[in-house]
Amino acid sequence: MTGRIFMQHEAILDLIQGMARLARHKLELLGRKKPVLVGIHTGGVWVAHRLQPLLEVEEPLGELDISFYRDDFTRIGMNPQVRPSRIPFEVEGRHIILVDDVIQSGRTVRAAMNEIFDFGRPASILLVTLIERSGRELPIQPDVAGLHPPLADDEHIRLEGPDPLVLRIGRRAGPRETT
Amino acid sequence: MRDDLQYNESGGLRHLLSIEGLGREQILQILDLAESFAVLPGRQVKKVPLLRGRIVTNLFFENSTRTRTTFELAAKLLSADVINFNVSVSATSKGETLLDTLRNLEAMHSDLFVVRHQHSGAAHFIARHVSPGVSVINAGDGWHAHPTQALLDMFTIRRHKGDFTPLRVAIVGDIQHSRVARSQILALNTLGVTEVRIVGPCTLLPAEARTLGVHLYHDLDAGLEGVDVIIMLRLQRERMDSALLPSAHEYFQLYGLTEARLERAKSDAIVMHPGPINRGVEIASEVADGPRSVILQQVSHGIAVRMAVMSLILGARGGETE
C-alpha cells in the first residue's frame, strides 16, 4: 500500500471513543433505546466492532456488502470480492446505527440504506463515520463523524485493518472511486 | 467449438457456453459470488436491484420446467425483466429460421439470452451471431454441455465437503447422452478432485471416456466403493426405445441406487441428481428421500448460482470501459 500514514492505531481508537460518546449523547437526546449496529464492508465493519462495547450493544453486528446495490454496476461491473450481507437481528422497528469508515460522495450510504430496507423497515437510522471528507454528491450527512481532514481533490484516504487500524492518505490514480 | 468466444476483450465473462475454458479460479469466483446470493431468501425482500432495467430472454427450443423456472426466478431476483420464449410452440414451427428468431428477439432489446436447444453447439452458434453487447448463457445443448447445472452441483458439493481435492466422485448412469455429465467431469477435474468415476453399462458410457480423465466402472458396487459424492443421472426412456437397454426394471437391478448399495460409499457420502428423478429406475425412493440426498438443495442452489453467472456476465459488459 502506498501513501503516507495519516493516523495510527491508538489515535484512531481515541477517535472512536469520542465518536461513541457523541453517538450516545445523540441517541439519548433523540430518545432512541436499544440501538443495533450495522457496519459497511470492510472498514465500516471494523469501526462498528470497536464501537460495539463502547455503545453497550449486546446484539451481534450486522454486516453489509453493498455490491448488489451500487449505482455504478453498469459502469464498473460485478465486484468479485463481494461477501454475503448478514443482519443477524430483526430490522423491523429497530433503531440502527449505520457505520462506515469514510463518507465522500454519499453513494455508498444511499446503497446501504436501500439494502437495510430490504431486510425490514427500521424505526430510524443514525449515520456514524470515522472520516467525513468533501465531495458529497447526494444530500446525505453523517450524524457523527470522527474527523474532517483537509484533503486535496486528488487525494484519497483509506482505513486499513482490522488490527492495527491505520489511516493512510494517497494520491488517486485513475478514475475516482465512489465512497 | 471455440470457447474463447466466452470472454470479452478485457477478459470478462461475456457468454457462458461451456465449462471448457474456465479456470479453477473462475469457477471458485462464481461459487463465492453465489454464496452472497444464497443468503437472500432469508430476507423480507428477497431481491436485489442489480439488473434493474435489463431484459433476459429465456429461449427454450426444448422443454424444461425446472431449468427455465430457476433461470426465470434468478433473473427476477436480480430485478431483471424476463421474457419466456418457448420456441417449440412458436415461430420455428411456422418455418422461421433460428437467425430470424434471434434478430426479432434482439429487436425487443434483450440483453441476455438463456438458450436450451436439442442440438449440440446451438448456444455457440447463437453467441457467434448476437449483436455486440448481447450475451448468451447455455442452458443445455444436445449432448454437449450444461454449464450452470455443473456449477450448481459444484456449489452443492462445496457446501457439504468444503475442499474438492480429497474427493472421489461417482457419476452413475447414461453418461454417453448426458450434457450434464460432460460438464460435471470438466468442472470436477478443473477443481482438482482426486478421482472421477463414471459408472454404467457399456452402451451408455462414451467411447472417448478415457480422454476425459475418468475411471470407468461397469459394476455399480465397485464404482461406489469409498466415494464421497454420488451423482445419479436420469435414465431417459428413449434410450430403451432405441434398444440400448433392455428394460427399466433390469436397469434398476443393475444400476439403481438402493440403500444397500449406498453402504459401499463413505458413511458421509452425499447423493445428488440433476432431476427430474425416476423413482425405481435409477434411484430408489428411500434413497431419494433419505438423509444423504441433497437433491432438493441442488434446486435451491441453482437459483443462487444462476444469479451469480448472470450478474457476472451482465456486469462484465460495463467492465469493458474500465
Beta pairing partners, B137: B16, B114
Domain count within chain B:
2
**What percentage of chain B reaches a pLDDT higher than 90?**
71
CA distances from B264 to A38, A159, B164, B197, B285 (A): 48, 54, 20, 14, 18
**Are residues B237 and B106 part of one domain?**
no
Structural domain of residue B109, as residue ranges? 4-146+300-319
Q: Which of A7-16, A116-125, B41-50, B156-165 has the lowest mean pLDDT?
A: B41-50
Amino acid code (one letter) for B140: G
Which strands, in side-by-side order, build the sheet including A95-103?
Answer: A62-64, A36-40, A95-103, A124-132, A144-147
More confident residue, B177 or A53: A53
Judge: B315–A83 Cβ closer than 8 Å, yes or no.
Answer: no
Query: What pLDDT band is residue B196 in, cutting at 50, 70 and 90?
Result: very high
| Element containing residue B28 per DSSP (H, E) | helix B24-38
Regarding whether B238 and B123 lie in a shared domain, the answer is: no
Count of C-beta atoms within a 10 Å radius of residue A162: 13
Radius of gyration of chain B (CA): 19
Percent of chain B with pLDDT over 70: 93
Q: Do residues B10 and B122 both lie within one domain?
A: yes
Query: Predicted confidence band at B319 (pLDDT cuts at 50, 70, 90)?
Result: very low
Q: Does A117 touch chain B (CB under 8 A)?
A: yes
Q: Running DSSP on this structure, what letter comes out for residue B131?
A: P
In this predicted structure, the answer to whether residue A110 has a pLDDT above a threshold of 90 is: yes
Distance from CA of B173 to the nearest CA of A (A): 36
pLDDT score for A174: 54
pLDDT tens sequence across A28-48:
999 999 999 999 999 999 999
pLDDT at B144 over 50: yes
B81 band by pLDDT with thresholds 50, 70 and 90: very high
Question: In this structure, are B307 and B291 located in the same domain?
Answer: no
A80 and B44: CB-CB below 8 Å?
A: no
Spell out the residues 6+ positions from residue B238 whose beta carbon is closer than 8 angstroms to its own: none
**Interface contact flag, B36 A84, Cβ < 8 Å:** yes
Cell of B268: 458421509
Interchain pair A82, B319: CB under 8 A: no
Residues B71 and B202 in one domain: no
Same domain, B224 and B262: yes
For B102-115, the pLDDT digits (tens) are: 888 889 899 999 99
pLDDT at residue B320 tops 60: no
Mean model confidence pLDDT for chain B = 90
One domain, residues B113 and B22: yes
Q: Is ipTM over 0.85?
A: no
Whether residues B94 and B216 share a domain: the answer is no
Same domain flag for B214 and B186:
yes
Residues in chain A within 8 Å Cβ distance of B316: 77-78
pLDDT above 50 for B204: yes
- Chain A residues 5-44 with CB within 8 Å of chain B: none
Our CA-based measurement puts residue A84 at a distance from the nearest CA of chain B, in whole angstroms, of 4
| Residue A68 contacts B, CB cutoff 8 Å | yes
Q: How many CB pairs under 8 A join A and B?
A: 62
Using an 8 Å CB-CB cutoff, list chain B residues near A89.
none
For residues B209-220, average pLDDT: 90
pLDDT of residue B43: 87
Nearest to B311 among A78, A118, A119 (CB): A78
Residue B1's pLDDT band (boundaries 50, 70, 90)? Answer: very low
Closest by CA to B163, choosing from B262, B303, B24, B20, is: B24
CATH number belonging to domain A4-171: 3.40.50.2020
Handedness of CA B255, B257, B259, B263 (dihedral sign): positive
Which of the pair, B207 or A91, is modelled with greater confidence?
A91
Span B243-253, pLDDT tens digits: 677 788 889 99
Looking at residues B150-174, what average pLDDT do you find? 97
Q: Whole-angstrom Cα distance, residue A110 to residue A98? A: 11
| Nearest Cβ partner for A118 among B32, B44, B50 | B44
**Distances, alpha carbon B57 to alpha carbons A68, B80, B100, B300, B307, in Å:** 21, 10, 15, 21, 14
Answer yes or no: are the C-beta atoms of B91 and B102 closer than 8 Å.
no
Closest-CA residue of chain B to A72: B318
Q: Which A residues 96-115 touch B at CB under 8 Å?
A: 114-115
Residues B151 and B288 in one domain: yes
Give the count of alpha carbons within 13 A of B233, CB side only: 28
**Residue B206: cis peptide before it, omega within 30 degrees of 0:** no
Cα-based distances in Å from B316 to A39, A77, B9, B16: 28, 5, 10, 12
Question: How far out from the chain centre does Cα A121 lie?
Answer: 20
- Give A80→chain B minimum CA distance, Å: 7
Query: What's the CATH code of the domain at B27?
Result: 3.40.50.1370
Residues 6 or more apart whose CB falls under 8 angstroms from that of B201 comprise: B218, B244, B245, B254, B255
The distance of Cα B146 from the centroid of its chain, to the nearest Å, equals 4
Summarize the confidence of residues A108-115 as an average pLDDT.
Answer: 96
As a whole number, mean pLDDT of residues A106-132 equals 96
Q: What is the tens place of the pLDDT at every residue in A141-171?
A: 999 999 999 998 889 999 999 999 999 999 8
Tell me if chain B has a CB within 8 Å of the CB of A84. Answer: yes
- B49 with B168, same domain: the answer is no
Residue B93 has pLDDT above 60, yes or no: yes
Chain B residue set in contact with A, beta carbons under 8 Å: 12, 29, 32-33, 35-36, 38-39, 43-45, 47-50, 311-312, 315-319, 321-322
> Which of A158, A49, A75, A63 has the alpha carbon at shortest distance from A112?
A63
- Asked whether residue B218 falls in the same domain as residue B308, the answer is no
Q: Return the top range by mean pLDDT from B74-78, B84-88, B211-215.
A: B74-78
CB-based contacts of B187, cutoff 8 Å, min separation 6: B19, B22, B27, B150, B151, B153, B154
**For residues B130-147, average pLDDT:** 94
Task: Name residue A98's beta-bridge partners.
Answer: A38, A127
| Segments making up each domain of chain A, as ranges | 4-171
A173 and B CB contact within 8 Å? no
- Phi then psi for residue A154, to 5 deg, are -95, 10
